[in-house]
Structure 1
Amino acid sequence: MKQHILIFSSIPEDVEILVRALEPEYKVNSAAGRDNALKIALSDFRPDLILLDFTTEGCEVCKTLNDNAKTHRIPVLFIKEAEKREDEIKGFELGASDYIEKPLDTAFIKARVKPHLELKRCCEGMELSSLDAVTGIADRCRFERVLELEWRLGVREKTLLSLLIVSIDYFSEFKKEYSPAAADQCLIQVAKTLENSVNRPMDFVARYGEEEFAVILPRTDMKGTLFVAETMQKNIKKLNIANRCSPIKPCITVSVGAGTLIPSKTFPPSFLLDGARKSLEDAKRKGGNQVKGLDLRASLPAVSPDFL
């Protein structure tokens, strides 16, 4: 079955170019007006991907979709003028996955759209079979597959890819003190809080280990990555889950390690994981309840063939 793309643009010439580029391979619909676009997006036949003009109405549609649980995971790509960096930043803040620059080019349109639809199809195929039994979020197997897909996309687009490893401080002691059932409830609350702390469809949260979670943040620099990590840390503190075993605080806290780079064919995704792991170890070594990060781009030239 063909995947469904919805176009919301007030410029007929742009709609014509987009339809001509995409229609042979995908089912394409266009919507006239904000309300009509939202009606289609929220219907039982929701699109797999949405293309929006970067206008006031387009931004409103993107925010509405991102705030709705039914449409939160639909990739949104903005159509924007080239050289307007501020539009790109605002689009990502609203929850957009990517953008297509004008003047519109058929090959570029296809190159931008295809990886997002591939990723969505892959994630949907794993939706039920790759969920963690305790928390209900994605498990490690699904995380590894999504990381591989995002890595390939980063190689193709030469865009930043960032990763967080989030570890609950003194979780083993908590589990012994309070009971395995209490530990499971703690994991469930932390998992939900982490998922609620990201707002873009392409951001991905998974359970990675006993007390660890991994977060994939495509197209995010170190500043943005650390902001997300600190937001997660603050939100988990607000849960106020008692932990009298912790010498840090009398409640559950987390340590977070971050890594960021531009993926390459010359080294594997494990390089990013290792960088985030080193950052996490640094945070733990300095007492826990901290966020540490490494911009790995500076270290890439020093990577030896033996390491790879």
Structure 2
Amino acid sequence: MTVKNESRVTELILLGFRNLYGFNNLIFIIFLNIFLITVTGNILIILLVSISHHLHSPMYFFLCHLSMSDIVLTTNTLPSLMEAILHDGKRMTIFGCITQFYFFSGIIITECFLLAVMSYDRYLAICVPLRYITIMDLTLCTCLSLLPWMLGFTMNLIGIIPISNFQFCNGNIIDHIYCEFSPLQKLSCSDTSLVEFLAFLFSTPLFICPCGFIIVTYVHIFLMILRIPSTTGRQKTFSTCSSHLLVVGAFYGTLIIKYMIPSIGHALLLNKIISLLHTVFTPLFNPLVYSLRNQDIRIALRKISGH
């Protein structure tokens, strides 16, 4: 049967999690609280950095951008998932689904490069401290903070534009917690080989290169820390990058595991859980890590709260 004679799909249904055994309302409330805490926590970090003069440094400037990316990621994916949980599925237009995928992929690429920029900042602060202020000036900070956003929301257009021209006629059920390429590919009756090739071609520079860069910078950082003679000095120096290292581990750990798990059979549920960790709990994890482990953030929070 030719594509012309096939029934064209105009609306998609996002399933989210099925078979919740009547706990839909409870799980919805849990995710609603997570959503509110995540957005509030990241907004609080942005406000603290903005109004606290002792936080006006490159490290916290980049942290603000990381918090903004977490807010975009959470507000892009979690509301649709909550609606799907509450109503046993969410109806979405094809345009709405592709738009969600555009912002999701854009933010993931943005965070990859933001984390790499933050590791470079820690490298300069620890390995070349005497030149840190002159190198990491306002111009470089601005460029390094805007570059990840530009790369994230322009490079993914290479794949999004051909996806927007897909014809969908292989059903309208997306058995996932948000829209992404794999379920859209399964529903498409168009030739997806070009997008698959582009995804493979650009995955290395957009995901692996920032990760490799972070590894290299932290190797230099650890070698520099080992040269510090006193234990107290080593601990104090390591504490300045420990929060970032935990965030990197959570982000790339869930990202790598997610794309190593096939979306078939019982692995589909596991894929959803890993996707949930990556898109829901990682944005929640970031402000908690920086607020609990970072003394400067805690001091600014106490000053604002009057304690």
TM-score (norm 1): 0.28
Task: Decide which structure has greater strand share.
Answer: 1
Greater length-normalized contact order (CA 8 Å, ≥ 6 residues apart): 2
Task: Decide which structure has greater helix share.
Answer: 2
